[in-house]
Amino acid sequence: MRFTSQTSSDGVTEQLFALPFAFGEIPGVLWTPDGDAGTRPLILMGHGGGQHKKAPGIVARARRFAAECGFAVVAVDAPGHGDRPRSEEHDRIIAEIRTCAQTGGELTPLIAGFHTLLTGQTVPEWRAVLDAVQELDHVGAGPVGYWGMSLGCGLGVPFIAAEPRVRAAVLGLNGAETSAEAAAQITVPVEFLVQWDDEMVPRAASLALFDVFASAEKTLHANPGKHGEIPAFELDSTLRFFARHLG
Amino acid sequence: MRFTSQTSSDGVTEQLFALPFAFGEIPGVLWTPDGDAGTRPLILMGHGGGQHKKAPGIVARARRFAAECGFAVVAVDAPGHGDRPRSEEHDRIIAEIRTCAQTGGELTPLIAGFHTLLTGQTVPEWRAVLDAVQELDHVGAGPVGYWGMSLGCGLGVPFIAAEPRVRAAVLGLNGAETSAEAAAQITVPVEFLVQWDDEMVPRAASLALFDVFASAEKTLHANPGKHGEIPAFELDSTLRFFARHLG
């Protein structure tokens, strides 16, 4: 794990890193409260499709997790996103998704196919990132949570199902098509966000994914609005959810 | 408005009252923080079917609204419940609902019929209660919220649609059958609770009622479990919801 930069503002330290791994270096970012060493809860954040590890929605949430809860937070670029190279197959699928979204076609099978393509790579990558980050003095092997919407949910579900260190997850904006089988193996507490007027994920597919989680504690929060329009008060709820289960 | 008893514990004053009205006296209970005069937010609480104004789920929530938020809280017995007389028609419908629940029949039309029977009476009753309580020095004409599950939701929806003083509502455990038309007239913020495995209200009917509220801010919280098994953390959410909209 190689750190390439470190900055601090408003009590939160941000470190960019690159982690060598089988499919090439994984570029990532780690946020921690300034100055504290010692073990703390860790949140892994999976960004949405077309976004990257420092997308505004990721940074804003990560800084609140660190500043208000004292958590460490890590985000990495998914394959084909951010600072990572895109394969020809990535390019082809992303172009198909864009065209389909513009022409009002059936998005679900395209998105499901893209998630399936990436998952074989991202599950071992997240495990490698978790191994590396938990060895740091200012993170340590504390309880782990996962946050991921949309692509970050699609890639997160198989990872959480496979990784016993993850103890709680906030997921959403994704349907049952790709990940129902893995979701049925998840037993940790889940807070699941649905946008009631989501133009990319059919409402029934979202409800079906919530239905399949095997968790004794799972809670669905649905709000009006489109795919990208999660209301601000849900972040307050996310903070309390993680504080309750990891704090 | 005639007060019949007053007690205080843990910083909360509880006053029983009887309010003369067209259909006979309305028995009620008012909770307020000890000792403070002056205008404050007021929560009206509608109990579930077969319950009453001092059912444990009402009292526990009311005391937290008063103690933690400084709100006034009022609950009354619905017609045919608690200290109020039951008509022969009440007896007949309640017996039908019980038999149907035991034999696994179709509950929805019976429950809808019961709600419709009571609503013509309860909308003017709630208005009379609100008028009377807001004249008290230790309540005043502050912002008003409504909380009601199950029967309390079925009777609350037409009341909220008709009463502009209600500015926010926590509702749930009820479907679209009785109250869709009134729900479509509601524009205030709504937090709506669904029990995912509700044995009395079909899931689709609950989701349909949430769908029809005209509120720009409405949020659905669904949790696993049966009709009476709302998880404890939802009360924390309810407190924050009312504090955000009435505080």
Query: How many CA atoms are closer than 13 Å to the CA of A119, on its beta-carbon side?
Result: 21
The CA-CA-CA angle for residues B243, A10, A78, to 5°, reads: 90
B222:A224 CB<8 A: no
Q: What is the pLDDT, as a whole number, of residue A240?
A: 96
Does residue A85 belong to any structural domain of this protein? yes
Q: What is the pLDDT, as a whole number, of residue A22?
A: 86
Q: Are strands A26-33 and A42-46 parallel, antiparallel or unpaired?
A: unpaired
A210:B222 CB<8 A: yes
A244:B237 CB<8 A: no
Does residue A192 belong to any structural domain of this protein? no
Q: What is the pLDDT, as a whole number, of residue A219?
A: 98
Measured between its terminal Cα atoms, the distance across chain A in Å is 27
Exposed, middle or buried, A24 (CB in 10 Å: 0-12/13-18/19+)? exposed
- And the tokens for A163? 């990784």
A211:B196 CB<8 A: yes
Give per-residue burial for A34-44: e unless 16+ CB within 10 Å, then b.
Answer: eeeeeebbbbb
What average pLDDT does the segment B90-113 reach? 87
- Please say if the pLDDT value at position B114 is more than 90: no
Q: By the 8 A CB rule, do B89 and B55 touch?
A: no
Q: What is the pLDDT, as a whole number, of residue B111?
A: 85
A181, A224, B151, B154 from B236: Cα distances, Å: 33, 22, 22, 23
Out of A83-97, B16-30, B39-53, least confident range? A83-97
ipTM of this complex: 0.89
Higher pLDDT among residues B247 and B246, named by residue? B246
Contacts of B231 in chain A (CB under 8 A): 217, 219
B218:A224 CB<8 A: yes
Q: What is the pLDDT, as a whole number, of residue A23?
A: 76
Q: How many domains does chain B have?
A: 1
Q: What is the pLDDT, as a whole number, of residue B175?
A: 93
**Run means of pLDDT, 10 residues per run, chain A, 247 residues:** 96 97 92 92 96 97 97 97 91 89 86 87 96 97 97 96 98 91 97 96 96 97 97 96 96
Which pLDDT tens digit goes with each residue over A47-94? 999 999 999 999 999 999 999 999 999 999 999 999 999 889 888 988
When the pLDDT of each residue in chain B is averaged and rounded to a whole number, the result is 95
Confidence of residue B101 (pLDDT cuts 50, 70, 90): confident
Does residue A209 belong to any structural domain of this protein? no
Q: In chain A, how long is the greatest CA-to-CA distance?
A: 52
H-run or E-run covering A32:
strand A26-33
What does DSSP assign to residue A169? E
> Least CB-CB distance to B220: which of A222, A231, A233?
A222
- Please say if the pLDDT value at position B36 is more than 80: no
> Least CB-CB distance to A219: which of B217, B221, B240?
B221
Q: What's at A237, amino acid-wise?
A: S
Say how far apart CA A78 and CA B133 lie, in whole Å.
58
Out of A173-177, A208-212, B228-232, B233-237, least confident range? A173-177
What does DSSP assign to residue A224? S
> Least CB-CB distance to B220: which of A216, A218, A221?
A221
Does residue B100 belong to any structural domain of this protein? no
What CATH number does the domain containing B165 carry? Answer: 3.40.50.1820
Say how far apart CA A98 and CA A111 lie, in whole Å.
11
Q: By the 8 A CB rule, do A148 and A171 touch?
A: yes
Contacts of A221 in chain B (CB under 8 A): 219-221
Does residue A146 belong to any structural domain of this protein? yes
Q: What is the pLDDT, as a whole number, of residue A181?
A: 92
B220:A196 CB<8 A: yes
> Looking at the complex, does the CB of residue B202 fall below 8 Å from at least one CB of chain A?
no
Q: Calculate helix-pair angle for A151-162, A176-183, nearest 10 degrees.
A: 20
- And the tokens for A240? 């309390």
Out of A190-199, B26-35, B108-117, least confident range? B108-117
A240:B244 CB<8 A: no
- Please say if the pLDDT value at position B186 is more than 90: yes
A221:B223 CB<8 A: no
Handedness of CA A84, A90, A91, A96 (dihedral sign): negative
Contacts of A231 in chain B (CB under 8 A): 217, 219
Contacts of A210 in chain B (CB under 8 A): 222
Chain B nearest-CA distance from A144, in A, is: 21
Q: What is the pLDDT, as a whole number, of residue B53?
A: 98
> Least CB-CB distance to A218: which of B194, B207, B224?
B224
Q: Which domain holds residue A103?
A: 2-175+232-246
Does residue B210 belong to any structural domain of this protein? yes
- Please say if the pLDDT value at position B136 is more than 90: yes
- Please say if the pLDDT value at position B178 is more than 90: no
Does residue B142 belong to any structural domain of this protein? yes
Q: In angstroms, how far is CA A27 from the centroid of its own chain?
A: 15
Q: What is the pLDDT, as a whole number, of residue B116?
A: 87
Does residue B53 belong to any structural domain of this protein? yes
Chain B nearest-CA distance from A187, in A, is: 13
Say how far apart CA A44 and CA B59 lie, in whole Å.
40
Say how far apart CA A222 and CA A198 lie, in whole Å.
10
B223:A218 CB<8 A: yes
> Looking at the complex, does the CB of residue B187 fall below 8 Å from at least one CB of chain A?
no
The answer for B 226-245 residues in CB contact with A (under 8 A) is 231, 233, 236-237, 240, 244
The CA-CA-CA angle for residues A193, A197, A199, to 5°, reads: 100
Q: By the 8 A CB rule, do B47 and B55 touch?
A: yes
Q: By the 8 A CB rule, do B143 and B72 touch?
A: no
Residue A81 main-chain phi, psi, to 5 deg: -125, 160
Q: By the 8 A CB rule, do B147 and B238 touch?
A: yes
Residue B140 main-chain phi, psi, to 5 deg: 75, 180
Q: B142, B113, B125: which is closest to B39 by C-alpha?
A: B142
A231:B224 CB<8 A: no
> Looking at the complex, does the CB of residue A220 fall below 8 Å from at least one CB of chain B?
yes
Q: How many CB pairs under 8 A join A and B?
A: 45
Q: In angstroms, how far is CA A12 from the centroid of its own chain?
A: 20
